[in-house]
Structure formats: C-alpha cells, structure tokens
Amino acid sequence: MSKSLVLLMIVVCPAVLTAQVGHAPDRSPYRDITGRTSLVLQGGLLGGSGGLLDIGPTGGALYGVRLETVLSGPTDGFLGFTRGRPERMLVDPTAPEASRVSGPESQSLVIVDAGLTILLAGEKTWNGLAPFVGASLGMGFATTPAADTTSGFRFNAKLVTGPHIGIRWYATRSISLRAEGRLLFWQLKYPSIFFQSPSDTPNDPPVLDPASSPDSEWTSHPVLNLGLGIAFRL
C-alpha cells in the first residue's frame, strides 16, 4: 500500500474524529453525507507475487465498476466488477528443464466481489474528506492459455479476499473522488504433473520438488485504485 496514502490517513483521521464544537453551522468544516448510494468508476494497478513459478496472474492495470449503498449508520455495502489483463509465466512440465518456462503472457482476469466499508468519521465529512476501511470477498476468473493444456494448471473460480483502506473527497454532495489501497489474496494449486519428472527427458528434475515444495500456496497482491463516485437516490 502507498506510504503516502497511509500518512494521509494518519493525519486526517484524528482531525475528523475531533468533537464538532466551536463552529457556526455555516462555517463548520463538517458536512453530512447525504448521498450514500453511489455508482463508482475505478481504475488501478495490480501488483504482488505470481507464486513459486510465477504462473499466477499479477501486474498490470485493472478497471471496473462498483455499486455501493448504506446498510446501517457509517457502514456501506458494495458489489464490484473488475477486469484486467495481468501477465504470468507458462510452464510445460513435459519439456526439458532448460526450455520448460516461457512468457510472460497476458490473460484476461475478472473479479466479482462484495464487501463492507466503514466510514471512520461516521456519516459526516471533514473539509470534504471521509476516510474508510473495509474488506471484501469474491471470486476470480481467468482465461486459460493453450499452453496450460499440457500441465492442467487452471486459474479459474478462485476465492479472492482481502482488506482495503482509503479516503473519499466530496467535491459536491453527489460527486466524490476516491483513493484506495487494497490487499487481495488468492490461492494457487499446482497439478500433480509438476511433481513428476518430464516424460521426454526423465533425467531432468520435475518442475517442483515433491519432497519440499507445497502443492498449493496463497499469494498476496497490493492494488492501488483511483475512482469517481456518483451518488443518486433510489
């Protein structure tokens, strides 16, 4: 997550949570958030690890849309749809060790998720700012390159989860700009053929050492999103 975003949260949150006294209503820096159902257009960058073999999708731009609405008090719920074309390496476990890895190759990635967001200042902004934290849970789907048919590796219907933190700036009561840092986690599962010696060159070692390598692993992926929210009334 961006260090500048974290620093901004540290500076803004205490000021937002200070008691709202000593200000005339027309000069107060605090304003009620009146539009709590929004359509959010967002774009960002995906980072993180592709796993032991770099065959998990990572890197590249993401873009998507999110529908969010108030659930209770300072808590919002949202549904999101995100897609992009991250890159990953390809591994042919039947090939000789020197030529079994190729790439990188881009592939289509789609994430459908739902989550909760808590506004740290309650239902108000401070000078138009509203910091927030939350978490999401969803599923990730990706196309399968033809080269994966040999190994049987798939990145499809993967559980995607993780926390997020960020800040909104309300330019008007219905228009907001957002900066958000997310940390997404998903699991890679390696097929059994990765632990077998290549059929064409049986003297070469397998892709993964069956004595010490795991058959699955969780990878983490920081995401920095920027978004535009448009509030409306249902």
pLDDT per residue as tens digits for the range 25-55: 567 888 888 888 999 999 999 999 999 999 9
User: How far is the C-alpha of 231 from the C-alpha of 39, rounded, in Å?
Assistant: 6
Cis preceding-peptide flag for 25 (omega within 30 of 0): no
Q: Which residue has the tokens 């993401």?
A: 62
Q: Average pLDDT, stretch 211-224?
A: 96
Confidence of residue 222 (pLDDT cuts 50, 70, 90): very high
- CA 153, CA 151: separation in Å to the nearest integer? 5
pTM to 2 decimals? 0.84
| Mean pLDDT (the chain, rounded) | 88
* 186 pLDDT higher than 90: yes
* Residue of 71, 61, 150, 52 lying closest to 116 (CA atoms): 71
Domain coordinates in residue numbering, the chain? 33-231
Cα angle 217, 163, 144; round to 5: 45
What pLDDT does residue 14 have? 52
Q: What is the CATH number assigned to the segment(s) 33-231?
A: 2.40.160.20
Q: What percent of the chain stands above pLDDT 90?
A: 67
Whole-angstrom CA distances from 157 to 64, 110, 143 are 18, 10, 11
Q: Lowest-pLDDT range, 16-30, 70-84, 143-157, 178-192?
A: 16-30
Q: How confident is the model at residue 218 (pLDDT cuts 50, 70, 90)?
A: very high
Residues 118-142 have a mean pLDDT of 95
